[in-house]
């Protein structure tokens, strides 16, 4: 047997089922519900005896064979559809591997287990998946110089809305010069939750819910830089100062 329709046909020919009852048998076998299977078993065995004088033992073996197949078999239309789809995807993967991987990864946005699975498959095929970059990535996965560029929407917790805003801002006003430039230019966009994005190998918190939070982050970064400069200056000796001044600075 190849198709589920053959289960129905066997029930019709061997046990005298109508088309409607044969379909109920197919469904019961596919779902593997014990109570339904038990009821159908008795009807099938009795039908085999009544219509074709088939011994009970042989009828039970036939029923078990049908049940085993129906548990994994497809109906004819589904089988044909899956076969066609398998052929098309195999052709694309063999002849357009980079495009195929980029499209497949984009189709699984939001499912990070599957993204990891297909990234590993890309590596197995010798295709490089470049990391996410606010100056190079787009919302979906794209082709970048023969490689696949990680889409911003594929970054966990970032989301499509924030990704679209980042890309739109870059396209309209040019590339981001540094982290501060990135924060300032994206402070007008708000997301329900804070999220993360990769920029030149660094992970930063992006777009918190409070409107002033981005500006505050920028001030914090600037204050940190100022503190570093102050600590550096305090540790230096004045070449033209007095010995007493240098001793006080060194304490």
| pLDDT 10s digits, 107-150 | 999 888 999 999 999 999 999 999 999 999 999 999 999 999 99
Chain position carrying tokens 């189709």: 107
- pTM value is 0.59
Q: What does the alpha-carbon distance between residue 180 and residue 168 come to, in Å, rounded to a whole number?
A: 18
Tens digits of per-residue pLDDT, 186-215? 876 555 444 444 443 334 334 443 445 555
Domains of the chain, with CATH numbers? 5-76 (no CATH), 96-211 (1.10.150)
Q: What does the alpha-carbon distance between residue 152 and residue 136 come to, in Å, rounded to a whole number?
A: 10
Q: What does the alpha-carbon distance between residue 169 and residue 164 come to, in Å, rounded to a whole number?
A: 9
When pLDDT is averaged across residues 160-184 and rounded to a whole number, the result is 90
Confidence at 220, pLDDT banded by 50, 70, 90: low
Helix (H, G, I), strand (E, B) or coil at 202: strand
Give residue 35's Cα distance to chain centre. 38
Confidence at 27, pLDDT banded by 50, 70, 90: confident
Q: What does the alpha-carbon distance between residue 40 and residue 16 come to, in Å, rounded to a whole number?
A: 13
* Per-residue confidence (pLDDT) for residue 210, from 0 to 100: 46
Residue by residue, DSSP assigns 118-130 as HHHHHHHTT--EE
């Amino acid at each position: 047997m190849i198709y589920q329709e053959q289960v129905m046909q066997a029930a019709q020919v061997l046990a005298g089922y109508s088309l409607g009852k044969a379909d109920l048998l197919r469904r019961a076998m596919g779902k593997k519900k014990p109570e339904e299977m038990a009821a159908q078993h008795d009807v099938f065995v009795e039908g085999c005896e009544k219509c074709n004088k088939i011994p009970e033992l042989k009828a039970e073996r036939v029923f078990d064979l049908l049940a085993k197949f129906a548990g994994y078999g497809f109906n004819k239309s589904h089988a044909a559809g899956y076969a066609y789809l398998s052929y098309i995807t195999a052709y694309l993967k063999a002849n357009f591997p980079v495009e195929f991987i980029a499209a497949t990864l984009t189709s699984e946005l939001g499912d990070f287990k599957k993204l990891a699975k297909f990234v590993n498959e890309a590596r197995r095929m010798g295709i490089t998946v470049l990391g996410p970059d606010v100056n190079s990535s787009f919302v979906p996965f794209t082709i970048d110089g023969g490689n696949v560029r990680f889409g911003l929407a594929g970054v966990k917790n970032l989301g499509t809305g924030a990704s679209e805003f980042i890309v739109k801002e870059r396209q309209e006003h040019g590339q981001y010069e540094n982290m501060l430039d990135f924060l300032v230019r994206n402070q007008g966009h708000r997301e329900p939750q804070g999220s993360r994005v990769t920029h030149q190998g660094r992970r930063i918190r992006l777009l918190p819910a409070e409107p002033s939070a981005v500006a505050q982050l920028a001030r914090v970064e600037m204050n940190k830089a100022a503190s570093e400069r102050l600590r550096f200056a305090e540790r230096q000796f004045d070449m033209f100062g007095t010995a007493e001044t240098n001793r006080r600075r060194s304490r």
